[in-house]
Amino acid sequence: MTKPLVAITGASSGIGEATARAFSKAGHPVLLMARRMDRMEAMNLPNAVLRQVDVRDRDAIAAAVRDAEAIHGPVDMMFANAGIARLADIGRQPPEEWDEMIDINTKGVMNTVHAVMKGMMERRHGTLVMMSSIAGRKVYPDHTVYCGTKFFVHAVAESLREYLSAHDVRVIVLSPGVIETEVLSGVLDETTLANYKSNKAKMGGGIGAEIVGDLILNAYQLPQNALVQEICLTPTRQTY
């Protein structure tokens, strides 16, 4: 039997890429959305629809979903993964970095959910996976606005989970700790970056993104009436 379509934003690297590989290996067609088209092309996954998308563009996400669904049928899982971490001392951080995080990490998540939610409700089937962070459960130095955006994801996910439960649509929050991804590329403040790298080294480094991708696949493969509400994954030596 043909497996249903899975869509992923921020699919060109890190957890997004790892999740795309996990679902593709399991036989799913995939809609990959990101700003770096070359990185998605280099993955060379079968039955993949690739679209250059900025999640701040609601219409672009909707168009990508329409294109992929015309080929592979309805999106049964949407992973709202795209995000950015501009970490810095809030007292010296440029407000433009706040804007970027708020637009991508909050509005981008909502734009992504909006593109598929109505269809899932009508079909009474589907799964939304929403990228938060352990920084959406507690606060950290130099993470002020970033934490705010991730707390937002937690709050919206809790509300959506209640709202969509009557329509048999699942909502999973992903709250990783330190993972080996390109997240540090978004940190422009040198002091904050040095402190982050030091703390990461003390815990023996992050864990592989492929572990997270496999966990998402495992949670998705449960029967539709079984829901892993949150995946919170950290290195064993991460104590905060």
- Listed residue (60, 58, 4) closest to 37, CA to CA: 60
Kindly list the catalytic residues: 146
* CA 210 vs CA 45, 80, 108, 158: distances in Å: 16, 17, 24, 26
Report the CATH number at residue 95. Answer: 3.40.50.720
Looking at the DSSP bridge assignments, the partners of residue 112 are none
Q: Is residue 214 part of a domain?
A: yes
- Listed residue (144, 56, 164) closest to 100, CA to CA: 56
- Read off the pLDDT of residues 14-61 as tens digits, 9 standing for 90 and up: 999 999 999 999 999 999 999 999 999 999 999 999 999 999 999 999
* pLDDT at residue 46, as a whole number: 96
- pLDDT at position 196 over 70: yes
Q: Is residue 140 part of a domain?
A: yes
Counted domains in the chain: 1
Encoding tokens for residue 239? 């104590």
Q: Is residue 240 part of a domain?
A: no
Say which residues have a Cβ less than 8 Å from residue 74's Cβ, sequence separation at least 6: 4, 5, 119, 120, 123, 126
> Rounded to an integer, what distance in angstroms lies between the CA atom of residue 47 and that of residue 53?
18
Encoding tokens for residue 91? 């007292």
- Read off the pLDDT of residues 143-187 as tens digits, 9 standing for 90 and up: 999 999 999 999 999 999 999 999 999 999 999 999 998 777 878
Consecutive H or E run containing 18: helix 14-25
* pLDDT at residue 143, as a whole number: 94
Domain that holds residue 53: 5-230
Which 3-state string (H, E, C) describes 165-209?
A: HCCCEEEEEEEECCEECCHHHHCCCHHHHHHHHHHHHHCCCCEEH
* pLDDT at residue 4, as a whole number: 98
Consecutive H or E run containing 85: none
Q: Is residue 238 part of a domain?
A: no
Q: Is residue 155 part of a domain?
A: yes
Per-residue pLDDT band at 1 (split at 50, 70, 90): low
Q: Is residue 137 part of a domain?
A: yes
Q: Is residue 235 part of a domain?
A: no
Q: Is residue 135 part of a domain?
A: yes
